[in-house]
Amino acid sequence: MSIALPTPTYLTVRAPAKINLHLGVGAARADGYHGLYTVYTSIGLYDDVTVAEATDTSIRIQPAEYVDVAQVPLAPGTNIVHAAADKLADLHGVQVTADVLIDKQIPVAGGLAGGSADGAAALVALDRLFDLETPDADLLRLAGELGSDVPFALLGGTAVGTGRGELVEPVADPGTWWWVVVPSPDGMSTPEVYRHFDELSPDAAPEPPRAEELLAALAGDDVHGVAAALRNDLQPAAVDLRPQLGDLIARGEEAGALRGLVSGSGPTCVFLCGDSDHARAVAAELGAEHDVVLVANGPVAGAHVVEYS
């Protein structure tokens, strides 16, 4: 039986931030991207994208107090939401234009894939608003064209990413992981961090390192095993470009976190803790020195509708 639902007049799709539990980076490929073997996990820190039909696309941002909207590219042709609308319009041969409001909780240019979350949320939201019924395989392909991290934001949960990160495969992760998240007021450029990785690692192997121990610890709900296996090959480059990040990681571990690491290309640092009380205690210590210290857990769902009218 199928139930025909009316096409909505507006809807809101929520998409999560990501952390790379393992970011294995291979040598630069001929196309300039780096081959990755990464293990993404999602955390309960979200952007909500609300769309309503309009004759042109316009984007407004409603930022959390710690989010610097000045760093969000908003001009037509520069925001990932415009790109998502254009990709759906090309695929289906229809006009896809909307008023878009982004309720932004994910720090910008922080290594948490906030832009990618907006791209994934926009794909799902516009697909539903225009009743396009895009097959999942096509949504994942368009997401991969929008950016390496966008397919994971569609999927959520915990997943291995290969290729340049866009080929995602869910993995077993029955646990709940508690994180302290410390954003930085100044973003970092992902291409710049990758360039510095190339300078620091001229002999990187083409095949990125894999993550067997981490995957076994995730499947076994073993937080100490996960802590021991966390790895980010971009961290030396990010810390070399911004040495304060090394100090912050050391402070978080002194405060009792099981492990700290740079998230993706940085500069956000994340600290794995044993449970929610532990995370709140570490956050309280780091909060004495940093204006913004968040606590989040995961894994959580990928891009999904939360409001519909």
Which residues are catalytically annotated?
Answer: 18, 149
**Residue 194 near ligand C5P by CB under 6 A:** yes
Scanning 53-61, 141-149, 174-182, 221-229 for contacts with ligand C5P by CB under 6 A, the matching segment is: 141-149
At closest approach, how far in Å is the CB of 116 from ligand C5P?
A: 7
Q: How much is the CA Rg of the chain, to the nearest whole Å?
A: 19
Applying CB under 6 A, among 47, 149, 173, 233 the residue interacting with ligand C5P is 149
Residue 221, Ramachandran bin (φ over 0: left; ψ between -120 and 50: alpha; else beta) = left
- In angstroms, rounded to a whole number, what is the distance separating the alpha carbons of residues 112 and 252? 18
Task: By CB under 6 A, tell whether 18 contacts ligand C5P.
Answer: no
The gap from C-alpha 289 to its chain's centroid, in whole angstroms, comes to: 25
By CB under 6 A, which span of 16-24, 62-70, 119-127, 189-197 interacts with ligand C5P?
189-197
Q: Which stretch binds ligand C5P (CB under 6 A): 30-38, 48-56, 178-186, 229-237?
A: 30-38
Q: How is residue 175 written in tokens?
A: 């646990």
Tokens 């931030």 sit on residue: 17
Pick the stretch among 16-24, 31-39, 59-67, 94-102 that binds ligand C5P (CB under 6 A).
31-39
Q: Rule CB under 6 A: choose which of 22, 34, 128, 231 binds ligand C5P.
A: 34
Q: Is 190 in the site for ligand C5P (CB under 6 A)?
A: yes
The answer to whether 147 contacts ligand C5P (rule: CB under 6 A) is yes
How near is the Cβ of 118 to ligand C5P at its closest, in Å?
Answer: 12
Site size for ligand C5P, by CB under 6 A? 11
Residues present in the chain in total: 309
Dihedral, 25, 164, 19, 306 alpha carbons, nearest 10: 180
Q: In the 3-class helix/strand/coil scheme, how is 55-84 assigned residue by residue?
A: CCCEEEEEECCCCCHHHCCCCCCCCHHHHH
Name the residue nearer to ligand C5P (CB basis): 217 or 237: 237
- Contact between 191 and ligand C5P per CB under 6 A: yes
For residues 184, 189, 191 and 196, what is the CA-based torsion angle, rounded to 10 degrees? -60
Note whether 33 binds ligand C5P by CB under 6 A.
Answer: yes
The CA distance from 295 to 71, in Å, is 23
Question: Does 77 participate in binding ligand C5P (rule CB under 6 A)?
Answer: no
| Packing angle, helices 276-287 and 244-254, rounded to 10 | 130
Which residues of the shown chain bind ligand C5P in the complex (CB under 6 A)?
33-34, 36, 147-149, 164-165, 190-191, 194
